[in-house]
Amino acid sequence: MTDLFSPLTLGGVTFRNRIGVSPMCQYCAGEDGLPTDWHLAHLVSRAVCGPGMVMTEAAAISPEGRISAHDLGIWSEAHVGPHARLAAAIAHAGSVPAIQLAHAGRKASRLPAWDSGPAVPGWEALAPSPLAFGHYAVPRAMTEAEVAQVIADMVAAARRAVRAGYRLIEVHAAHGYLLHQFLSPLSNRRKDSWGGDFEGRTRLLREAVAAVRAALPAGVALGVRISHTDWVEGGWTTEESVELSRRLRALGVDVVDVSSGGLDPAQRIPLGPGYQVPGAAAVRAGAGLPVMAVGLITEPAQAQAILAEGKADMVLLARAFLRDPYWVLNAAVALGRTEALSVPPQYERGWGSLGKMSIARPVGAPMPALPG
Ligand SMILES: Cc1cc2nc3c(=O)[nH]c(=O)nc-3n(C[C@H](O)[C@H](O)[C@H](O)COP(=O)(O)O)c2cc1C
The enclosing domain of 139 has a CATH number of: 3.20.20.70
234: region left, alpha or beta (phi > 0 left; psi from -120 to 50 alpha): left
State residue 370's pLDDT score: 44
Taking the centre of ligand 1 as the mean of its atom positions, its distance from the CA of residue 55, in whole angstroms, is: 11
Residue 229 lies in a domain: yes
Distance between CA atoms of residues 245 and 283, nearest Å: 7
Residue 73 lies in a domain: yes
Residue type, 206: R
Question: CB atoms < 10 A from the CB of 347, how many?
Answer: 16
Largest CA distance in the chain: 65
Range of the domain at 298: 8-356
Given ligand 1 and candidates 24, 256, 292, 316, which is best to mutate, with the most ligand atoms within 8 Å of its CB?
24
177 part of the active site: yes
Taking the centre of ligand 1 as the mean of its atom positions, its distance from the CA of residue 24, in whole angstroms, is: 5
Give the residue, 206 or 110, on which the prediction is more confident.
206
Residue 87 lies in a domain: yes
Q: What is the pLDDT of residues 210-264, one digit of tens each?
A: 999 999 999 999 999 999 999 999 999 999 999 999 999 999 999 999 999 999 9
Given ligand 1 and candidates 19, 25, 323, 324, which is best to mutate, with the most ligand atoms within 8 Å of its CB?
25
- What is the pTM (predicted TM-score) of this model? 0.96
Query: Is the C-alpha dihedral spanning 360, 218, 240, 289 positive or negative?
Result: negative
pLDDT band at 348 (very low <50, low <70, confident <90, very high): confident
Q: Please choose, from the candidates 15, 106, 33, 42, the residue with its C-alpha nearest in 3D space to the C-alpha of residue 69.
A: 33
Taking the centre of ligand 1 as the mean of its atom positions, its distance from the CA of residue 268, in whole angstroms, is: 18
CB 241 within 8 A of CB 284: no
Q: What is the pLDDT of residues 39-86, one digit of tens each?
A: 999 999 999 989 999 999 999 999 999 999 999 999 999 999 999 999
Residue 364 lies in a domain: no
Residue 260 lies in a domain: yes
DSSP character at residue 63: G
Residue type, 115: D
CB 109 within 8 A of CB 121: no
Residue 153 lies in a domain: yes
CB 270 within 8 A of CB 278: no
Taking the centre of ligand 1 as the mean of its atom positions, its distance from the CA of residue 114, in whole angstroms, is: 15
Taking the centre of ligand 1 as the mean of its atom positions, its distance from the CA of residue 101, in whole angstroms, is: 14
CB 133 within 8 A of CB 149: no
Residue 363 lies in a domain: no
Distance between CA atoms of residues 50 and 312, nearest Å: 20
Residue 369 lies in a domain: no
How do 314-317 and 291-294 pair as beta strands? parallel
Residues with CB under 6 A from ligand 1: 22-25, 57-58, 100, 172, 174-175, 225, 259, 294-297, 317-320
Q: Is 124 exposed, middle or buried (0-12, 13-18, 19+ CB in 10 A)?
A: exposed
What is the total count of domains within the chain?
1
Nearest CA to ligand 1 atom 10: 23
| 19 three-state secondary structure | strand
- Give the active site residue among 27, 136, 166, 177: 177
